[in-house]
Amino acid sequence: MSVETHAPEPGPPAPPPDVAPARLLTVLGVGGAVAGTLLVLAFGLTLPRIEANRARALDAAVKEVLRAPARYDTLFVVNGALTKTAPPGADPKKLEQVYLGYGTDGRPVGFAVVAAEAGFQDVITLIFGYDARDRKLLGMKVLESKETPGLGDRIEKSEAFVAQFAGAVAPLVGVKGKRSKPGEVSMITGATISSRAVIRIINKALARLGPRLEAYREEGKGNP
């Protein structure tokens, strides 16, 4: 490289006439290795914060849909049953989890279940509280959605829509206009698909998990 020898002055480097392929490989190889190392470092530094954020968001959501329980347990869904402890050898983070909340008197108040399915734009992830004894919902909160701003996103922003889920009897039925029965949910005008998706997600999750939740409830009757 001629330019390095005679031009200490700042200026664009002249392209060398012929560059050995080995040099290109070295530059890109070293660059890639350095970049990779930096990424691993950044990942390691940020991961605890990111996981803590996620856990905090989930914790707040569980408490919200169980209407501020005194405490709650994490249960794992294993082979069609709920257990308090993950089976040995399984990663507890990868198992499906439900959360069982207890009131101040130590009696269970209900389960919080996370469920996800396709909405209008993308997958809607939500959490809902469910009282298995009365088969009633306690509350619903959308955790993640990309529904249309101003229309579909009212499934999480419209207080009137969200409030309907507290006390609604499962299975839910979406209606246009005013609700008249306890299992009915009045859908949002202009966001029928998103509203219907929320109802479908909850109904499907309950069809799948409901019996297990009830079974656990019976079995755990004597427990505090």
Partner 1 sequence: MSDELSHLHCGAGGGPVLPGRTVTAQMDLLKGLWRENPVLIQLLGLCPTLAVTNSVANSVVMAGATFFVLVGSSLLVSLLKRFVPNEVRITSYILIIATFVSVAEMGLQALVPEIHKALGAFVALIVVNCIILGRQEAFAGRNPVGRSVLDAVGMGIGFTIALLLMGSVREILGSGTFLGVSLFGPGFEPWVIMVLPPGGFFTLAFVLLTVAWARQRRAARAAAAGRDAAVARRAA
Tokens, residue 148: 């249309």
- Please state the closest distance from residue 48 (CB atom) to partner 1, in A: 8
Q: Return the closest-CA partner of residue 130 out of 47, 51, 189, 207.
A: 207
Distance CA 7, CA 10 (A): 7
Please, which residue, 33 or 68, has the CB nearer to partner 1?
33
Least Å distance between CB 99 and partner 1?
20
CA-to-CA separations, 68 to 5, 38, 209, in angstroms, rounded: 72, 42, 22
Q: How far, in Å, CA of 19 to CA of 150, rounded?
A: 57
Site residues (vs partner 1, CB under 8 A): 1, 3-4, 7, 9-16, 19, 23-24, 27-28, 31-32, 35, 38-39, 42-43, 46, 49-50, 53-54, 57, 144, 146, 148-151
Please identify, using beta-carbon distances, which residue of 29 and 211 lies nearer to partner 1.
29
Residue 125 or 203: which CB sits closer to partner 1? 125
CB of 112 vs partner 1, minimal distance in Å: 20
Question: Phi-psi region for residue 141, left (φ > 0), alpha (ψ -120 to 50) or beta?
Answer: beta
Beta carbon of residue 138, minimum distance to partner 1 (angstroms, whole number): 25
